[in-house]
């Protein structure tokens, strides 16, 4: 629940005070890249298209708001990968997305990568810990560059 609220806040540029007085928050647009098991490459169908779409939205938001905005790349692994690769794979996935965003024109000082490994599964109740949806990177737009990383922890 808290993770969904944070994502809504970031994607919709709504302050916490606005959300607390509101009864509903619209679901945010989601930019998620999925990875093959053990991979850090953007090779899955639509992966590069998703990153390009995110870069475009981020740069458009910057033009719209007339101030720099920040990008967060949250990288994850499934449980089997965490056992096999340790803590190395998740940050490498985030870095893969970060490099592509830089190639697409996003300033490197506006991108922060957070690696969570298998600590934040896709959906604890519906997806097994070794399932493909856990092998992902989520991209978030932070319109005010004030996201607090501890807000996304389970």
pLDDT tens digit string along 12-44? 333 333 333 333 434 445 699 999 999 999 998
> Can you tell me which residue has the tokens 């009864």?
23
CATH class of this structure's domain 2-16+30-152:
alpha beta
What does the buried/exposed string (b/e) look like for 39-77 if buried means 16 or more CB atoms within 10 Å of the residue's CB?
bbebebeebeebbeebbebbbebbeeeeeebbbbbbbbb
Assign residue 118 a region (left: φ > 0; alpha: ψ between -120 and 50; beta: otherwise).
Answer: alpha
pLDDT exceeds 50 at position 56: yes
The most distant pair of C-alpha atoms in the chain lies apart, rounded to whole Å, by: 45
Which pLDDT belongs to residue 152? 56
**Residue 19: what pLDDT?**
33
Q: Are 48 and 100 in contact (CB under 8 A)?
A: yes
Q: What are the structural domain ranges in the chain?
A: 2-16+30-152
Pick the range with the lowest mean pLDDT from 62-66, 94-98, 112-116: 62-66
Q: Which residue has the tokens 């920040």?
A: 70
Nearest of 31, 104, 106 to residue 62 by alpha carbon: 106
Q: What is the pLDDT of residue 10?
A: 38
Helix (H) or strand (E) holding 90: helix 89-103
Distances (CA, A) of 57 to 36, 39, 48: 25, 26, 14
User: What's the rounded Cα separation, in Å, for the pair 17 and 22?
Assistant: 9
Is 113 a residue whose pLDDT tops 60? yes
């Amino acid at each position: 629940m808290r993770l969904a609220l944070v994502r809504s806040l970031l994607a919709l540029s709504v302050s916490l005070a606005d959300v607390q007085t509101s009864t509903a928050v619209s679901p945010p647009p989601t930019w998620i890249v999925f990875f093959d098991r053990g991979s850090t490459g953007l090779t899955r169908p639509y992966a590069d298209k998703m990153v390009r779409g995110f870069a475009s939205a981020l740069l458009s938001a910057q033009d719209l708001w007339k101030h720099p905005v920040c990008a967060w790349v949250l990288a994850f692994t499934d449980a089997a990968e965490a056992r096999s690769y340790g803590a190395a794979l998740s940050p490498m996935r985030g870095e893969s997305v970060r490099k592509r965003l830089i190639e697409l024109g996003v300033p490197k000082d506006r991108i922060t990568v957070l690696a969570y490994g298998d600590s934040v599964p896709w959906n604890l109740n519906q997806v097994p810990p070794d399932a493909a949806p856990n092998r992902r990177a989520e991209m978030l737009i932070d319109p005010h560059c004030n996201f607090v990383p501890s807000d996304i922890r389970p």
